[in-house]
Structure 1
Amino acid sequence: MLIVLLTAATAASEQDQPLHWWRLGREGQVLERGQDRLEGLHQRYAGERVRALLADGVGLHRVSLPGQRTAAIRAALPYALEERLSQELDDLHIVMGPKRADGQISAAVVEHRLLAYWSGRFATSGLRLEALLPLAALYADQAPEQGLRLQALDWPDCSGWLVSAADAEPVLLEPALLPFWLNNRLQALAPEQRQLSGPASELASLQASIPADTRLSSPASAEASGSLQGQLATAAPLNLLTGPYAVSMAAPPWRKLRPVLVAASVVVLLTVGWLGAERAALEAERDALRSQIETTFSRALPGARLQDPLVQFQQQLQGSSTQVQAGAGMLLHAFFTSLQGQSGVEIRQLRGSVEALDVELKVASFAELEKLRAALAASAGITEQLEGADSENGGVSARIRIARGES
């Protein structure tokens, strides 16, 4: 995970100034750190999760609101903070935090202008923010049980002081404002609660600016708990990327469906391939059948123009055409009727006229040839004549003339 620090110094100019960053391991340990521009971080760590810490320009508040419904509390929160804020509510982005054990609600307030600026910077660089966190909110769990606690931040470019209290959210102050703010804050506390802990050197310089009855203490571990690893080990508090600035970190819906899409793509490809093969096979079968029809037609009706073979053969067989067609049709009908029951007969050529039909064919044997001649001779109205027969491999080739005779 990448941690990027956003300070007033880096936001003062529109130029893309280098930012301080830390790269954490799975256990929260610091693996790398440096200072670079956002585009450079995107080139080096494009796939890393990114969190940004906003050090300036964000205020933390704590208010008490009646009611239990989260939606009602969120709607009333801006008006509960209105008296504390010096700007118009329309210019501010207010984020509601979790409800505390004492019933109070934590809230973060930041200008829309500042959020739009940083959101644009990260969007331009290509980095995708997981969270934008107030830096002061990381110290919310380090508040003292009583009084105030003063901490010096060891973050780069952060020269302010962090003041935390048990009854309020942490506040990040500039050194020049610290004496005035502490005096007013301690004056608001009851005398028995006026206690301030912090570095001894800073307490000595502040002693003249705070109430005289304030009890001062300098714990030896005042800054020991401020390690980066400890501050970022917990979940992100008060993420400012809500509402119009919300960024979904969930995986795109299509990514979850990637296995299903891959399987569907394979099925589609296989189906398209199978349909293509089936179409190619059907086209080849159609072409072979068309060629066979043309061959049979040219042999059966030499010299005739091929238009609709089925209709033309029906006209020939049924005698519904001209006289030439009627004569040839009768001879063809007699010939094909005689072929019924014959096996192994191959018609090689048919030549016809009104009075006669010359057939060149191949049969399995002379016995089959005589059987066919006998069937032709038994047909009424025609005569048959064997014009030649020769033995060849696998059968007998013969030429038979079928003519119209007395019925």
Structure 2
Amino acid sequence: MSERLLLAMPAPGESQLHWLHWDVSSARAIDSGTLAVDESLAALGERFAALPCYVVVPGEWVSWQRVVLPKGGKVGLAALPYQLEEQLCSDLESLHLACGRIRANEACDVLVVERRHMDEWQAMLASSGLQIKAMLPDYAMLPSNVVLLDEQRATVHLDNAATALQSENLHSWWQLVAGDGASAALYCQRDMAPQAVFSEFSAPPETFNQRLEVIAALCRPWPINLLSGDYAAREESHSELRRLRWPLLLLLTLLGLHWLQLGLEVVDNRRQIDRYEQGMVAIYRDTFPGARVVNARSQMRSQLNALQGAASSDSEFLPWLERIARASKGGAALRIQQLNYDGKAIKLLVDAEDYGAVDSWVAALAKQGFAVSRGAFGQQDSGISGQLELREAAQ
């Protein structure tokens, strides 16, 4: 189908919403109009019930964030709010987060909006009968490197930033975020003098009568939908489900039996994985007291990467750790409580059952090429505790 409907929600202080019936194949507007904010959309739904509808909301109400998560899928989705917690100034409970597919260690686009705005938009769309394909902020409907400017609002989508703001603030935002070297195609409202607002553009702008027509003509919607999670659209008609009810019930029963069998087979493995995860958390908390643990494995990897990056290119820290680990295999009677590295030596605080365990470990470290100096050892409740210093043995 080459036709679609665009529905623009009102910006703050506006009392009307705009709609546009657009023909994609001919790239022209078939019809357009406005409705009062408190007016029902039922008539619009009856007229355009067969058309896919994009709901465009003011971008100044929606924040675009980009995050990288160590894990994808449901695990990454569960960790997403905690990754954004420090960047957001609002209570997480009052925010709605919408994102695309989360893949491990890849940048993920996230749209953040207050739930009160989502409630308002959803209430306006309730019982409209429209086939809403997606709800997106205006900048998420545009291709990259585009600036859409009228007398009141500016909408910007660059490769590394996107926003909507008052036109008079565009110059300051561009200097802070885009920089002098950035360029973009400018679409300006007809009869407006853009140079008075934004003098950085040297090329003449494209002009328009209605901003929604520009969005429809350039339409490149992001693969994200604000109508997701708690705000996912629900189908009002379930006639097909009713007709297929018994076949679906039989299929679900068979699948349930299959999943039950698989669950019984892997339950022991899951318990062991849980024990490993708990052990990693305990190790991380012992190593970094007071730190908040979200994903112990990825956080430990980040700490090691930071240590490796902070050291010089000829650092021996990680190779030394490998040699210490080889010397420690099977040494259950000895535990490292603290480790300090200054680039030339490693100082260790260790607990052991007795002096024999320390002697055995020192001998193993010597085989790995270390010169070991002992500090003071004292008696503890369940063994001994003391210090060791490791240096590279003289050749």
Instruction: Output the TM-score relative to the length of structure 1.
Output: 0.47
- The structure that has the greater radius of gyration is 1
Instruction: Output the TM-score relative to the length of structure 2.
Output: 0.48
Q: Which has the higher contact order (CA 8 A, sep 6+)?
A: 2
